[in-house]
Each structure stands twice: as C-alpha cells, then as structure tokens.
A and B are shown apart, each in its own frame.
Chain A
Amino acid sequence: MPKSVRDIAIVFILLGAGLIILFSSDKKPDSSTAGRIIYTVLKPFQEVVFAVHSRVGNVWQTYIDLVGVQEESAALKEEIRRLRREKAVLLDKEDENRRLKKLLNLKTRHELPSLVAQILGEDAAGWYHTFFINRGSDDGVVPGTAVTASEGVVGKVIRGSSDMSQVLLLTDPNISVDCRVARTRDRGILTGSLERGCVLRHISLKSDVKPGDEVVTSGLDGIFPRGLTVGRVVKVRKGDQGLFLEAQVSPAVDFSEIEEVLVVLGQKGGFDVQPGLEERR
C-alpha cells in the first residue's frame, strides 16, 4: 500500500473513531477505566503543584499579615468579644431550632452526611467550568453528588475515580438545578450561562421576582438538599418565547477563591422532598 494512502486511511480511522466515541458515548456521568487511569497518573503531580502553591501563598500571606499587626490585633480582640457574644446567641437559637425541627420530623441539612474535600485542579481545556477534588468513590463520592461551600452551592460531581472526582460548576451551561426564589417561592431551573453567571429559567410570568431576591435549591431534583443558597437575582427579563420570566443570578460562591468544598453524600430516595410532596404539604 502506498504511504500516502496509508496515512490518509489512518487519519480517517482516527477521526472516525473519535466521532464514534463522541456520538455513541452515554450522556450520563460515568467513571470509565481510562478516566480512572488518567486521574491516577495526574493526581500526584497536581498535588505537588497545589502543595507548592499553598506553601508559597502562606509565606507571602505571613509577610502581609505582619504589616500593621498591632493595630489589627486590637481590632481582632474586639471582634472576638463580639463574635463570642453572637455565638452564644446563635447556639441558643440553634438548639431551639433543632428541637422544633425534630418535632416536625424533618431532617436538617446539617444532619446530612458530608465530607470536606480539597480542590486539586481545574478543567484541562478551560472551555468548560469544572475542577477536581481529592475525594472519590472510596469516600462514597459518586457522579451526581452535590458539592457545596459555606457560601452556597458549588456544583455536582460528573466523573470520578477511587480517590478523585470532577465537579461541574454552577456557572457551566451543562448544569441544571431545580431552584426557588426564597421570597416568592417561585420555582425555576437554574443553568450556567457563558455570558451572565447563571440564569434561572421557566419562572412563572405572574411571579414578583425582583433584583436582590435570594435563590435557593428546591430539593426537587434529588441531587441538592433543599434550602441551600445558590445566589442572588441581578436582573429579570422575559424569556425568548415570552412564556416565562428569566432571572440573571449572581452565584453566592466566588469560584476563583474557594479551596475546600463540602461534598454532600447522597441518600437513597433523594433528600428532604420528593417531587410533588412539597405541593401536597
């Protein structure tokens, strides 16, 4: 066979193979063997770079902290006194809240099993909004697991290996989260937007949703527990077809700042509410 014909045949075979993989692949999140091997090879390198970055960052931060340390110390002591007072009030409220919730036989989200995970790296190509965490199937983290931070929802796990997982962020257009506007209780589907952070779609035209309203998870998608903060409404407009309202939502989490996240381990049958249950209550 002439060399040029062979080369062309190889190109067609590889492109064909790529297209076959692309169009035959299952759209559901997966954890293929190839993926597990790649994660295992890359993880030690990512950990080394992350550790070096953290050390350098700490040294620099220590230097910065020393500047004006006396003034800051006095302010911090006052802050500690204030926080202690607030903590005592909050503990009392939490105790009261827990008792009331037990009476209502509802699970609080703090009772959900969860894990702290460290962020190891980001999306390899940069065209998608994902990052990697140092928890995998060995820790009970499977595709579809919800990931949060103290500020609110971060995203969900889409792939993983035994000790590493890939998280799709709230700002990626491929994610969808069932949410409610906290004030008006209107439901909508939140997706990431390349242009505007996140967009809450399919809100009823009758809704009174306004800029500044808080958006929380509804718990109806079976992935995210109910009541987690997602973000705040920035702008409201009519959708393309004019049948629903759309709200531009600014995420509560600053994805460039977080270093640790909380992985909310799934429970059989989803979280607090099943579809339709809340309406019946």
Chain B
Amino acid sequence: MIEVLFMALAALIALTLQTTSFGFMIRAAYKPELIMILVIWASLRITFLPGVGFAFAAGIVVDTLSGSPPGLFAVIYSAALVACGYFNATFDIDSQPGRAMTIFVATLASGFLVMLTRWLEGPVEFGWLAVKFILLKSLVTGATALVVIPVLDRLWAGFSRLAGVR
C-alpha cells in the first residue's frame, strides 16, 4: 500500500511536469517520457504486483491525457515492466548505464508501437524524419533517466525509512 502511495505521488508529479513545464523548457515533441522512466524504475525497485498494477493504471491515465487510442499505453507500460523485470533477473541490468540503456530501448520500442498503431489507423508517412524523431525522443528519455533514477532512489530510500517499508 505504501509502495502504491509513493508511485501514485511520483506519477502525479511526473504527469503535471509532462503536460506543462517540459513544453515550456524544451521542444515539446522531444520531451522525456517520465512515466516510462517511472515504470522501469518500478520494475527494478518495487515488488511485482504493485509494480505491474501501477504500470497498467499509469498507462490508462496517459491514454486519457494523450491522443492515443485507449489501452495502448496500458499495454506498452505493462509489457515494458514485465520485460525489464525479466532482463534484470537474467542479465542484471541494474546499473547506471544499464538502466539508461533499458529506458532508451523501452522508449524506442514504445515509439515504434505508437507509429505502428498510427499507421494502422490511416495514412502516415514513416520515413527517416519519423525515425529520427523516435530516436531523439528515446535519447532524451534515456539521458533524463540518468538524473531522475538516482533522485527517485534517494526519495524512495527516505520514504521507505519514514513509512517503514523493507
């Protein structure tokens, strides 16, 4: 329950930033996917059930606050959490570069899935500029993770000590 509260607060802050400040600071299209960073962080730090529940719920919220078809990000984030958990158990990716690379790949995959759904819905040009857009956005998200994940770790450490989570 404490984990869920922490994740809900983090998601609320991330969504507020994502829908407001980032658009003012950098070119809106390339703003980092903070929720994806949170999902990957949850897969490494939070127990499985609250983690996957969070990924699904966060996806539904992002679907509502984005132009995506309902359910798309719920599937993407749930799949990302499960895949990241598996890769961490198999290859131990929980290091600073490993986490950034995982988030880069997860954002890249989600970008191509978004483009695929767009392409299925109607005529969308999918040339080099679209690929460049996905690559840049993934790079920005991966680089942001290098800063955000240590901050999340510190916050989680303080929060868990305060709330008595093991």
- A residues adjacent to B (C-beta < 8 A): 7, 10-11, 14-15, 17-23, 25, 27, 32, 34-35, 38-39, 41-42, 45-46, 49-50, 53, 120-130, 132, 158-159, 166, 168, 172-174, 176, 191, 193-196, 199, 201, 256
Instruction: Say yes or no: B56 contacts A17, CB within 8 Å.
Output: yes
Q: Which 3 residue pairs are nearest across A and B when measured between Cβ atoms?
A: A128-B67, A21-B71, A22-B71
19 A-B pairs (CB sep. < 8 Å): A7-B48, A7-B49, A10-B49, A17-B56, A18-B75, A20-B71, A23-B71, A49-B17, A50-B20, A124-B66, A125-B65, A125-B66, A128-B66, A129-B67, A173-B124, A174-B122, A191-B122, A193-B125, A201-B123
Chain B interface residue count, CB cutoff 8 Å, equals 58
Q: How far is the CA of A84 from the CA of B85 in the complex (A)?
A: 68
Instruction: Say yes or no: A14 contacts B52, CB within 8 Å.
Output: yes
Shortest CB–CB separation between residue B133 and chain A, in angstroms? 7
Which residue from chain B places its CB closest to the CB of A30 in the assembled complex? B70
In the complex, chain A residues whose CB is within 8 Å of the CB of B75: 15, 18-19, 22
The interface residues of chain A, by DSSP majority, are classed as mixed
| B137 at the binding interface (Cβ < 8 Å) | yes
Instruction: Say yes or no: B71 contacts A42, CB within 8 Å.
Output: no
- B residues adjacent to A (C-beta < 8 A): 12, 15-24, 27-31, 33, 35, 48-49, 52-53, 56, 59-62, 64-75, 78-79, 82, 110-111, 114-115, 118, 121-127, 129-130, 133, 137
Shortest CB–CB separation between residue B141 and chain A, in angstroms? 9
In the complex, chain B residues whose CB is within 8 Å of the CB of A159: 64
Instruction: Say yes or no: B27 contacts A256, CB within 8 Å.
Output: yes
Contacts beyond the supplied A17-B71, A129-B29, A191-B122: 20 A-B pairs with Cβ under 8 Å: A10-B52, A14-B52, A14-B53, A14-B56, A14-B78, A17-B56, A35-B64, A38-B61, A38-B64, A49-B16, A121-B19, A123-B65, A124-B65, A125-B114, A126-B18, A127-B137, A166-B65, A174-B121, A194-B133, A256-B27
Which residue from chain A places its CB closest to the CB of B49 in the assembled complex? A10
Which residue from chain B places its CB closest to the CB of A4 in the assembled complex? B48
Contact residue among A10, A15, A127 (Cβ-Cβ distance under 8 Å from B68): A127
Shortest CB–CB separation between residue B20 and chain A, in angstroms? 4
In the complex, chain A residues whose CB is within 8 Å of the CB of B114: 125, 127-128
Instruction: Say yes or no: B35 contacts A125, CB within 8 Å.
Output: yes
Shortest CB–CB separation between residue B63 and chain A, in angstroms? 8
Shortest CB–CB separation between residue B85 and chain A, in angstroms? 10
Q: How far is the CA of A173 from the CA of B64 in the complex (A)?
A: 18
Instruction: Say yes or no: B59 contacts A18, CB within 8 Å.
Output: yes
In the complex, chain A residues whose CB is within 8 Å of the CB of B133: 194
Q: How far is the CA of A176 from the CA of B68 in the complex (A)?
A: 16
Shortest CB–CB separation between residue A164 and chain B, in angstroms? 10
Q: From known contacts A22-B70, A194-B130, infer whether A126 and B29 are also in contact, taking CB-CB under 8 Å.
A: yes
Which residue from chain A places its CB closest to the CB of B32 in the assembled complex? A126
In the complex, chain B residues whose CB is within 8 Å of the CB of A125: 18, 33, 35, 62, 65-66, 68, 73, 114
Which residue from chain A places its CB closest to the CB of B127 in the assembled complex? A195
Q: How far is the CA of A174 from the CA of B67 in the complex (A)?
A: 9
Shortest CB–CB separation between residue B58 and chain A, in angstroms? 10
